[in-house]
Structure formats: structure tokens, C-alpha cells
């Protein structure tokens, strides 16, 4: 009978520990749904990635999972969600893109960065054309 009580106490302790960790993670807002909120947020992410990158043209995916931007010199930057953070890369001639109606799939020359498909609406064609003319 004592063994059953010990096992029941272990089970109760495990449940309490799980509930505490859930409460703690929720209180710290961990694992939330990370999205790019607006152009100001996208600009801040670009500046964090490359200090001094000043976008003149920005488009944000309709779901907020990524953004594509261009500076005055014609450099293009891609920002995408990666787990609980955002990552950014400058696009070059080796970048690949594929247009499918309102969706633009973009991959960098860095294979570990992966590809991302952005829903850019009617502006997808404009941005796809711009990516075909990257000179850098």
C-alpha cells in the first residue's frame, strides 16, 4: 500500500510541475505566435540584422511571417520567421525566386537559410520582377 501512495505522490508532483512550467511559459510569453506587425517593426528587424540598412520599399507577407525590402542602392533583404525569432539575409544574384499568382517563393544562395513563400497579393509580380534584376 505504501508503494501505491508513493507512486500517486510522484504523479501528483509531476502534474503540479507541468502546470507550473505552463504558467511560467505563458507568463513570459514564450512560444507565442511571432508576426511582423507593420512597416516600423520590419524596419527595426532590418536594422537589427544589418546596421544601417534603410529600406525605401517594404512589403510584408499577409500573414506577417516574412517581409521583403529594398534600399536606395537596390539591395534586397529578405526577413523570415525562424522558430521564435526572425532571420534576415541580403539577396544576391544566386538567390532564387518563383512566382505563383500572389505567392513569391524566395530562396537564398545560403542553403541553410531555406526558402520561404510569401503571400504578397497583387504586388508579388512587381517584387518578382525586381528580384530578377539584382546586380549585386
pLDDT digits over 71-111, tens only? 988 889 999 988 778 999 998 888 888 999 999 999 887 88
Residues 63, 125 within the same domain: yes
Say how many domains are in the chain: 2
- pTM as predicted: 0.74
Q: How far apart are the C-alpha atoms of 31 and 97, rounded to whole Å?
A: 30
- Are β-strands 115-119 and 85-90 bridged in parallel, bridged antiparallel, or unpaired? unpaired
pLDDT band, residue 65 (cuts 50/70/90):
very high
Whether residue 121 lies inside any domain: the answer is yes
Q: How far apart are the C-alpha atoms of 59 and 86, rounded to whole Å?
A: 16
pLDDT of residue 34: 84
Domain that holds residue 12: 1-30
Residues 49, 115 within the same domain: yes
Whether residue 26 lies inside any domain: the answer is yes
pLDDT band, residue 14 (cuts 50/70/90):
very high
Q: How far apart are the C-alpha atoms of 120 and 113, rounded to whole Å?
A: 20
Distance of CA 98 to the CA centre of its chain: 19
Locate cell 528580384: which residue?
Answer: 131
pLDDT tens readout for residues 18-64:
999 888 887 777 766 789 999 999 999 999 999 988 999 999 999 99
Whether residue 136 lies inside any domain: the answer is no
pLDDT of residue 134: 74
pLDDT of residue 112: 83
Amino acid at each position: 500500500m505504501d508503494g501505491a501512495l508513493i507512486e500517486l505522490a510522484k504523479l501528483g508532483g509531476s502534474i503540479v510541475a507541468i502546470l507550473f512550467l505552463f504558467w511560467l511559459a505563458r507568463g513570459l510569453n514564450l512560444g507565442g505566435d511571432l508576426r511582423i506587425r507593420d512597416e516600423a517593426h520590419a524596419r527595426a528587424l532590418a536594422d537589427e540584422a544589418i546596421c544601417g540598412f534603410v529600406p525605401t520599399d517594404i512589403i510584408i507577407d499577409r500573414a506577417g511571417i516574412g517581409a521583403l525590402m529594398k534600399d536606395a542602392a537596390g539591395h534586397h533583404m529578405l526577413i523570415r520567421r525562424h522558430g521564435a525569432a526572425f532571420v534576415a539575409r541580403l539577396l544576391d544574384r544566386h538567390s532564387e525566386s518563383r512566382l505563383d499568382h500572389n505567392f513569391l517563393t524566395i530562396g537564398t544562395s545560403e542553403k541553410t537559410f531555406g526558402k520561404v513563400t510569401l503571400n504578397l497579393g497583387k504586388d508579388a509580380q512587381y517584387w518578382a520582377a525586381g528580384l530578377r534584376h539584382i546586380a549585386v
